[in-house]
Amino acid sequence: MAAAFEHLGLDPRLLRAVSELGWAAPTAIQAQAIPAALEGRDLLARARTGSGKTAAYGLPLLQRLLRAAPGAAAQAVRALVLVPSKELGQQVVLSLRQLAAFCAREVRVADICAHTDLAAQKPVLMERPEVVVGTPGRVLAHLEARSLVLRHSLELLVLDEADLLSGGLGCSGGVLW
């Protein structure tokens, strides 16, 4: 039987969010992935659709950002989640915000997936959110415009639905989901 969420070493604020969502126990992918990710290991995970992969990376990602939260003066983008479509991105943002509901001040999640004017998204990034969720095209455009700077602050990279992303990125490493 899978371990209870309480036995995974998660921050009480994350446990409270999980409880509010009514989740009784981790799914199989969550029970396997969360302890390994909390140890800081790079992961490549695959599970069927609807198996709870978003929280499998989302919970350890949030935990890591909470565990070593720098002071407000050092605010910067620390985690990047790349998604293949804006629709998936919106789902991921919603899930991460639900999981971060009780630490929303410490960990802010920005959505730059929408295909709106770049200038309209810049204020979101100027807030220096800890987590950015975006499609490769949008992220690249913001990097080129220097409205997104990752070089000195990025700690965590997630490639969600990496099989759909990899053609566009030509990637062969990182944290793949």
Ligand X SMILES: Nc1ncnc2c1ncn2[C@@H]1O[C@H](COP(=O)(O)OP(=O)(O)OP(=O)(O)O)[C@@H](O)[C@H]1O
> Which parts of this chain interact with ligand X (CB under 6 A)?
23, 26-27, 30, 47, 49-55
Backbone angles phi, psi at 152, to 5 degrees: -100, -5
Which residue's CB is nearer to ligand X, number 33 or number 125? 33
Work out how close the CB of 42 gets to ligand X at its nearest, in angstroms, rounded to a whole number. Answer: 19
Closest CA to 142 of 129, 155, 159: 129
Which residue's CB is nearer to ligand X, number 54 or number 63? 54
State the greatest distance between any 2 C-alpha atoms of the chain, in Å, as a whole number: 49
Work out how close the CB of 17 gets to ligand X at its nearest, in angstroms, rounded to a whole number. Answer: 11
Q: Rounded to the nearest 5 degrees, what angle is found at the Cα of 151, between the Cα atoms of 145 and 156?
A: 115
Contact status, residue 80 vs residue 134, Cβ threshold 8 Å = yes
Work out how close the CB of 99 gets to ligand X at its nearest, in angstroms, rounded to a whole number. Answer: 9
Which residue's CB is nearer to ligand X, number 26 or number 89? 26
Work out how close the CB of 7 gets to ligand X at its nearest, in angstroms, rounded to a whole number. Answer: 13
Cβ atoms < 10 Å from Cβ of 144: 10
Q: With 0-12 CB in 10 A as exposed, 13-18 as middle and 19+ as buried, what is 157? A: middle
Work out how close the CB of 18 gets to ligand X at its nearest, in angstroms, rounded to a whole number. Answer: 7
Contact status, residue 135 vs residue 82, Cβ threshold 8 Å = yes
Which residue's CB is nearer to ligand X, number 51 or number 90? 51
Which residue's CB is nearer to ligand X, number 4 or number 143? 4
- In the numeric block, which tokens belong to residue 75? 């605010």
